[in-house]
Amino acid sequence: MNKVQAYITDVNKEMRKVNWPDRPELISNTLITIGATIGAALYIYGVDQVVSSILEVIYSFA
């Protein structure tokens, strides 16, 4: 039990050292993350559609 208390104490000390972002920075970073995620998803979807079309053409000859 003593190790658990020491761990929790250490975690609290480290959390006080964290430089938390202010609200505008948090919103900005969140929007960047959402935009990058949507962009990556659309890219993967597009590549998947192209590969599917190519494979459809290849399999139609078999």
Q: Radius of gyration over alpha carbons of the chain, in Å? A: 24
Angstrom distance (rounded) from CA 26 to CA 33: 10
CA 24 to chain centroid: 20
Domain boundaries, the chain: 21-62
How far, CA to CA in Å, does 26 sit from each of 20, 32, 36? 9, 10, 15
Q: What pLDDT digit, counting tens, does each position of 5-60 carry?
A: 999 999 999 999 999 999 999 999 999 999 999 999 999 999 999 999 999 999 99
Residue with the two structure tokens 């208390």: 5
Structure confidence at residue 33 (pLDDT): 98
- Structure tokens given for 13: 């000390």
Q: How far apart are the first and last CA of the chain?
A: 68
